[in-house]
Chains A and B, each alone.
Chain A
Amino acid sequence: MAQKNIRDAINETLKLEMRRDPTVVVIGEDVVGGLGGTSGVEEAAGGTFGVTAGLAAEFGRRRVIDTPITESAIIGMAGGAALTGLRPVAELMFIDFIGVCFDQILNQIAKFRYMFGGKAKVPVVIRTMIGAGMGTGPQHSQALYNMLASVPGIKVVLPSNAYDAKGLLTTAIRDDDPVIFCEHKAMYLDACEVPDESYTIPFGQAAITRKGSDVTVVGISRMVTFANKVADRLAKEGVSVEVIDPRTISPLDTATILASVRKTGRLVVVDECNPICSVASEITSLAACEALSALKAAPVKVTAPHTPVPATPDLEQAYVPSLEQIERAIRSTLASGSGAGRVAAAAG
């Protein structure tokens, strides 16, 4: 099976779905690029990181639709097109830009199906880049998916590898509800084996990426790869770490997480969000509320600190949860028989 990176897996998925269904269209800023320029180059961009490269050549600009820089109109237009018969894949270049189009997500597309009495389908996917680690600073590096997970009516998907990216995006495009598909910008070149043909991965079904019995570590997006590395490192010492990748945080596969926590009795959640009302908060609270008697130690949250993302590389590195922090959190929960929960924030 061929090795493919996340960027190419997403690109391939878009092509496969556009071939399969003529109502699938791609909408966004510079998803092709070059209109109105002076060079005459047919495809001057193909997406910010080349994720949509080659789509226009195969499907034409009628279905691969460049827009001005106009996020409210992009998201709203995609929502309106979804209401009326298309399956748009809209690109919100960076999730940080949600600030200029949140109404269209929060009050429009997330609400249509419910407030129209179940008579509306809204098959729209919003692909968006998340995450720190590339030096892109406070307005291009946030995680923010935690905010979206608290809005009923939208599904929030966070692939952590190329195989999942393809299967989850296929599911997203074929789904009749709005889906926010979060791509970590530091992971586009991460590769693994990916089949050439189409396949789907159901939403609300976590993956267990490392089997273990001593401690459960739930990771989100890029933090899954960090957790896997720590698990492999600790395995050499005989510490058995189970790593769970929820893959979708809304809906959330609570059953798989709780089953693992009941088995290991210990929980660490690694999440790149700011700590307050983070996904880590939700999952640790889930364990405390639903599996308290199984817990041998207080759950531990490893998150970014409650600060904006700094541009300075050293500080940014300190902002993102590190392998060391994750390892420390695991060791602390293993050492602790009971006691208060702790937040292993970046500065700690």
Chain B
Amino acid sequence: MSYDPIMLLDAYRRMRAIREFEERMRREVQAGTVPGFVHLYCGEEAIAVGACMHLKDTDYIGSTHRGHGHCIAKGCDLEGLLLEIYCKQGGLCNGKGGSMHMADLNKGMLGANAIVGGAPPIAIGAALTAQVLGNRSVALAFIGDGASNQGTVFESMNMASVHRLPMIFMYENNGYAEFSGAAWHLGGGDIARRAGGFGMPSVKVDGTDFFAVYDAMGAAVERARNGEGPSSIEAVAKRWYGHYEGDMELYRKKGEVDELRATSDPLVKFESRATAEFGIDAEELREIDEELREIIDEAVDVAKAAPKPPREALYTDVYASY
């Protein structure tokens, strides 16, 4: 298969933006500048980007508590995201959502979700809207391996299957549900096989391989847009950091993450194939790296300096407050 170089450069930009963004967030959390819980996406960049490269603003995603990468992949504004993570005025949700609840409806981003398994029922609702309006939009739910055990996920797969909804279930098997390994918590051991039991095409791919995710998603989106119903993809890519920043990670063996970085860095894998096979110039990628570093530096400065929401904001955006 061949890939359009413009698409590949865009994909790289999004993956690198996620990496830069999350590494910077990690340093900021360690420095104590970020309020609340933060869950980082490093190591999984190829999943969000491989999926979202097929989606337009009029398509929908439902996200998770580990949602920064999904937002960036879906095209949300980096400064808006940072303002939201810092809970500042002018953030995507004016500071009322924060890292775990941010949404950007204009981009089809239906919200990070701090309830594990909370988003799939919402995402099938977006798929229903597309079906009722007949507008060829599709919806995707990102679902962690931990969430894959929730009843809401099974209900959503069944509903999508029964109604042939234009829906993609994108499982991100990152190896751990909080502090417990997928090797233990996944009954049957295989999410893709479970999903297949609901009567939809279901594949398992290397989630550190952009091209594998992109190809699988391409088939799923085509099927959904053609009204042929839902699909499921299990993308396997271990997360590099803890469940949340500050997690002691006592459940991981020493050296596990070093090995992941050395052998299955999604950005390194992408670059080696894109430059070797598809004529992408490594110099151009370095320029993107530099540009993103500056953009994120500036956006973090803006977010830190921005005003907090005013006291009155406590009482707005709800129909009645007492």
A23 to B132, alpha carbons, bound, how many Å?
8
Which residues on the B side are within 8 Å of A111 (C-beta)? 101
Q: Which of B3-11, B214-222, B311-319 contacts A (4 or more CB under 8 A)?
A: B311-319
A83 to B222, alpha carbons, bound, how many Å?
24
Per-residue CB proximity of A99-131 to B under 8 Å, as 1/0? 000011001100111111111100000000000
Asked if B126 and A83 sit within 8 Å, CB to CB, the answer is yes
Which residues on the B side are within 8 Å of A204 (C-beta)? 320
Instruction: Answer whether residue A133 sits at the interface, using C-beta atoms and an 8 A cutoff.
Output: no
Instruction: Answer whether residue B229 sits at the interface, using C-beta atoms and an 8 A cutoff.
Output: no
Asked if B118 and A107 sit within 8 Å, CB to CB, the answer is yes
A68 to B156, alpha carbons, bound, how many Å?
11
A177 to B92, alpha carbons, bound, how many Å?
20
Instruction: Answer whether residue B105 sits at the interface, using C-beta atoms and an 8 A cutoff.
Output: yes
Instruction: Answer whether residue B111 sits at the interface, using C-beta atoms and an 8 A cutoff.
Output: yes
Near A by CB (< 8 A), chain B positions 81-100 give 91-97
A-side interface residues, number (CB < 8 Å): 46
Asked if A117 and B122 sit within 8 Å, CB to CB, the answer is no
Per-residue CB proximity of B58-101 to A under 8 Å, as 1/0? 00101000000000000000000000000000011111110001
Which residues on the B side are within 8 Å of A77 (C-beta)? 121-122, 124-125, 128, 156, 159
Asked if A119 and B93 sit within 8 Å, CB to CB, the answer is yes
Instruction: Answer whether residue B103 sits at the interface, using C-beta atoms and an 8 A cutoff.
Output: yes
A113 to B320, alpha carbons, bound, how many Å?
12
Instruction: Answer whether residue A195 sits at the interface, using C-beta atoms and an 8 A cutoff.
Output: no
Which residues on the B side are within 8 Å of A212 (C-beta)? none
Residue of A nearest to B124 (CB): A77
Known contacts: A67-B159, A80-B122, A108-B115. The answer to whether A72 contacts B128 by CB under 8 A is no
Instruction: Answer whether residue B38 sits at the interface, using C-beta atoms and an 8 A cutoff.
Output: no
Most buried by B among A81, A103, A118: A81
| Candidates B93, B122, B127, B158; contact of A79 at CB < 8 Å | B122
Which residues on the A side are within 8 Å of B155 (C-beta)? 70, 72-73
A63 to B134, alpha carbons, bound, how many Å?
12
Which residues on the B side are within 8 Å of A296 (C-beta)? none
Known contacts: A73-B156, A86-B128, A251-B319. The answer to whether A114 contacts B122 by CB under 8 A is no
Asked if B158 and A117 sit within 8 Å, CB to CB, the answer is no
Known contacts: A108-B122, A117-B95, A119-B93. The answer to whether A84 contacts B152 by CB under 8 A is no
| Candidates B111, B125, B152; contact of A82 at CB < 8 Å | B125
Known contacts: A67-B159, A103-B118, A108-B115. The answer to whether A73 contacts B95 by CB under 8 A is no
Asked if B321 and A116 sit within 8 Å, CB to CB, the answer is no
Asked if B318 and A25 sit within 8 Å, CB to CB, the answer is no
Per-residue CB proximity of A12-38 to B under 8 Å, as 1/0? 000000000001010100000000000
Instruction: Answer whether residue A288 sits at the interface, using C-beta atoms and an 8 A cutoff.
Output: no
Quote the shortest CB–CB distance from B219 to chain A (angstroms): 24
Instruction: Answer whether residue A65 sits at the interface, using C-beta atoms and an 8 A cutoff.
Output: yes
Quote the shortest CB–CB distance from A204 to chain B (angstroms): 8
Instruction: Answer whether residue A75 sits at the interface, using C-beta atoms and an 8 A cutoff.
Output: yes
Which residues on the A side are within 8 Å of B123 (C-beta)? 80
Which residues on the A side are within 8 Å of B118 (C-beta)? 76, 103-104, 107-108
Most buried by B among A68, A117, A119: A117
Asked if A76 and B121 sit within 8 Å, CB to CB, the answer is yes
Asked if A84 and B94 sit within 8 Å, CB to CB, the answer is no
Which residues on the B side are within 8 Å of A118 (C-beta)? 94, 316-317
**Contacts from B to A (Cβ < 8 Å):** 60, 62, 91-97, 101-103, 105, 110-111, 113-115, 118, 120-133, 139, 151-152, 155-156, 158-159, 162-163, 316-321
For the complex of A and B, 9 pairs with smallest distance between CB atoms? A76-B121, A80-B125, A117-B94, A117-B93, A118-B317, A80-B122, A73-B155, A81-B125, A77-B125
| 9 residue pairs from A and B, CB less than 8 Å apart | A73-B158, A76-B124, A80-B139, A83-B110, A86-B133, A119-B103, A152-B320, A152-B321, A177-B319
Known: A115-B93, A117-B317. 11 other contacts (CB 8 A): A65-B128, A67-B162, A68-B162, A73-B124, A73-B155, A73-B159, A85-B133, A107-B118, A114-B318, A116-B101, A116-B103
